Chain A
Amino acid sequence: MTSLDLVVRALRGSDARSSALSYLVHAALGVAMWFAIVQVAARVVPVERRIQLAALGIPVVLAAVAIAWIATRPRPDALMQSADVHLGLKERLSTAWERRAAHGVMDDLLRQDALQHALRDRLVRAFPIRISRREAGAVVIVAAAALALAVLPNPMDRVLAQAQADRASQAKAANTIHDVQKKIAAAAKTAPVDPKVQKILSDTAKQIQDAKDPRQALEAISPAEQQLRQLSDPQTPARTSTTQNLAGALSTTNAGKAASVALSSSPSQGAEAVRNLAAQLPSLSPEERAQLAKALASAAKSAKDPAMAASLQRASDALSSGDLGTAAAALNDLAGQLDSLENQQNNDQQIASAINGLEAARQALAEQADRDAAGSPVSAGTAAGASPAAGASPAGGNGNGNANGNGNGSGSGNGNGNGNGNGGSAGTGSSGSGSGTGTAAKPSEELYVPGQPVPGQQENDPTPLGPGQDVPLTPYTQVIQSYQQAALDATNQSLIPGSERDLVREYFARLGE
């Protein structure tokens, strides 16, 4: 290696150090700018992990700068030329390097002269470590701006917090349903409908978890409840009632007292007792038989379940006519029906548990949906006058009236202008607002007006009923009648999904009770 090569190596080191610092400042500027961009973007759109995203830029920027640093390393001739200029060597090094292999009259002298001057100067000075003040200033300014943006309140934080709360509430609701599933699976008495119930619950939990917000999650609950209800036998209450009546009737007879006690305890024990009673019929005295026949006839008369009533009546008639065989057979039929009732009651119990679980999930989701809606409260009637359509028609579609929010989204002003508004709570009917634009509606036009105040409600009442909202969370004592009427009217409109209509009707019907 020649002395000039050593000079090149020394210059390379000096240049690498100098440019590394310079590139580090570039990197710092890049990182600061990336931070600032992320912070600005996070103020425009909700960015959930903005710190992580911003931090992700650091290795990317560093890698890019490192690549640029390596790629822009100067060639030896360029190094020599720069060193000449920076060290004031009057092009000695660059000329000597260019003619390093030449053997002219002066080339040896030139090389010696260049090396002497190069050694006289400290080669590290050729590329001094310097930071551009302008760039350093830019780094400080951009970093400060990014920091300020990170520290100052971000309106999107609320949106993000809401989204997190939404997810938490959905997870909680799904967990509630999973708990119910476990409870049903661990129940001592198994019911034939258990697999179906489990499937419905699993599907619902999945839908809740997959829903984009609590409001959408809520939409999965009502169909599930309907499916569960369809699993229930509608005759079960009638049979239960008949069983209770039978227990009451038998308690007045000597022969049927044991059966009465067993029936009161449970249908299965009652079934066993009835079979025993059928077996004991031949040993009963005529008075006891007559007493029993009378009690069975009384029970048959008050029975709400036709099959049980028929069995009771047949047993009563057979006893009265002394046909003990037929009476025993009728009682055994009755015992079979009681066994069936036991299963039905178990089914209903599991279904009820499942529905309770779904209701608990609904409650959790509804609370969160209500909080979401309350996050942007706007009083009713804020759409008033916001519509530039005022006066465009004699009908006066200038937006007076309340706007009804659809979920968390936009409200609509009345008239036929589209409202831009916030508010509208899921289920609670809290107010929304909207600014209507567009041409006013003609008087004869039949238009659906969301958020029309319910009958009897004050225009500024903050709790209008929202169509399609299925979970009330605020007290309705004062407006329940008008709400009920409005809801029932609303069910006739096509806006209400078919699957929801029955639920809405049933719900308001119950409230009215």
Chain B
Amino acid sequence: MTSRLVIAEEPSADPKKVTELANNLEAELARLIVGQKELLRDTVIALISGGHILLEGVPGLGKTMLVRSLGQALDLTFSRIQFTPDLMPADIVGTNIIREDSGRREFEYQHGPIFASLVLADEVNRATPKTQSALLEAMQERTVTVGTETRALPVPFFVLATQNPIELEGTYPLPEAQLDRFFFKALVPFPSETELLEIARRTTGNALPELHAVGDADAIVAAQRVAREVPIAEHVLSYAARLITATHPNRTELDSVRRYVRYGASPRGLQTLVLAGKVRALLEGRYNVAFDDLAAVAHPALRHRVFLQFEAEADAITTDQIIDEILEHAKKESPGS
């Protein structure tokens, strides 16, 4: 709680405190989540960046546990929405109900589950596009409009949506424009054998580790503000722009991009790269963005913003492979290399 107080008292916070908060948060989550270090890092980066994250992984890998643990570790309100085909927008954003008070009836707004700082949108691709768009609009605007009244969502507001990559029947895949609203798309890998053993040890006993809050809403908001102050040099910024440009088939020198990519990343992809790079720099204890930061966040930042042709699917080419190639190519062109 110490870090929460310090950060809350100094809005223009000490960057070292942000690093400390992030490290503490990662350490705390790691007490419950076995392995998945990259996922934890991506989640923390997205949280401090103020973005939302789309988690893709088969069921049972701890996605829900991750979100719940995050709520505990940050002392934030948490809600879970299980997306199903019959889920309606009002089930998410809330609705007006008639309430009788002293013989007088009036509408009263009842908050939906989206009014929480941490929202787990489980299997988001199972809901209809109408419901999906209600969520995604709230994600983007950070407000909810019901009837004629617009209500602000809590600050911070962090959505972790999950989707199952294998059960696609009866699902409504998120359209490209909606995907772009997610800050990161993180893949939840299957644990290694060692990690599986550890999971078994930790979760089959009588007691589960109890998480302690290492920060709160104020700490997160302050950290978000501090993260945006991290300087980035012009040539590093140019590198980020080159990465984005290289994802476009009509602007790249890479044959694979020209052949396999249908659409490249949007300018929002560049914003994501830079902002995530800044947070990662802080997490690494630095006060500037490095090429390595951009390269490290390139996969989660771009993999849902680069859309492949059918030919790529036929050749079993993934966006991660394309991004790897872009990074390799950009590395050769970076100054001093």
Contact = CB atoms under 8 A, between A and B. Distances in A.
A85 B336 contact: yes
Nearest to B292: A90
Contacts of B236: 91, 94-95
A431 B235 CA distance: 79
B233 A109 contact: no
Contacts of B6: none
A85 B235 CA distance: 13
B286 interface: yes
A115 to B, nearest CB: 12
B45 to A, nearest CB: 17
A107 B233 CA distance: 12
Contact of B233 (A98, A104, A106): A98
A107 B292 contact: no
A106 B287 contact: yes
A82 interface: yes
A313 interface: no
Interface stretch (B161-169, B201-209, B224-232, B243-251): B224-232
Interface in A93-136: 94-96, 98-99, 102, 104-107, 109-110, 113-114
A106 B230 contact: yes
B286 A92 contact: yes
Nearest to B232: A95
A81 B290 CA distance: 11
A158 interface: no
B336 A82 contact: yes
A110 B231 contact: yes
A96 B230 CA distance: 12
A144 interface: no
B93 interface: no
Contacts of A473: none
Contacts of A96: 288
B96 interface: no
Interface residues of A, number: 23
A212 interface: no
Contacts of B15: 105-106, 109
A82 B256 CA distance: 30
A94 B235 contact: yes
A81 B235 contact: yes
Contacts of A113: 286-288
Nearest to A78: B335
A130 to B, nearest CB: 15
Contact of A91 (B226, B229, B289): B289
A110 B287 contact: yes
A229 B105 CA distance: 154
**Interface magnitude class on chain B:** 20 to 34
Nearest to A110: B287
Contacts of A109: 15, 287
B288 A90 contact: yes
A138 to B, nearest CB: 24
A84 interface: yes
B233 A91 contact: yes
Contacts of B290: 90-92
A82 B335 contact: yes
Given A90-B288, A92-B288, A105 B336 contact: no
B336 A81 contact: yes
Nearest to A106: B287
Interface in A49-79: 78
B337 A91 contact: no
Nearest to A83: B336
A86 interface: yes
Contacts of B284: 90
B336 A95 contact: no
B230 to A, nearest CB: 6
A105 B233 contact: no
Nearest to A96: B288
Contacts of A95: 231-233, 236, 288-289
A322 to B, nearest CB: 131
Interface string B284-305: 1011111111000000000000
A106 B229 contact: yes
A230 B330 CA distance: 93
B215 to A, nearest CB: 20
Contact of A105 (B12, B235, B293, B337): B12
B234 interface: yes
A102 B336 CA distance: 24
Contacts of B230: 106
Contacts of B286: 90, 92, 113
A90 B293 CA distance: 9
Contacts of B232: 95
Contacts of A107: 231
Contacts of A104: 229, 231
Given A91-B235, A95-B236, A110-B231, 19 more contacts: A78-B335, A81-B235, A82-B335, A85-B334, A85-B336, A90-B284, A90-B292, A91-B233, A91-B236, A91-B288, A91-B291, A92-B288, A95-B231, A95-B289, A104-B229, A106-B230, A109-B15, A110-B288, A113-B288
7 contacts: A95-B231, A95-B232, A95-B288, A96-B288, A105-B15, A105-B226, A110-B231
Q: Which A-B residue pairs are the 3 nearest by beta carbons?
A: A85-B336, A90-B290, A95-B288
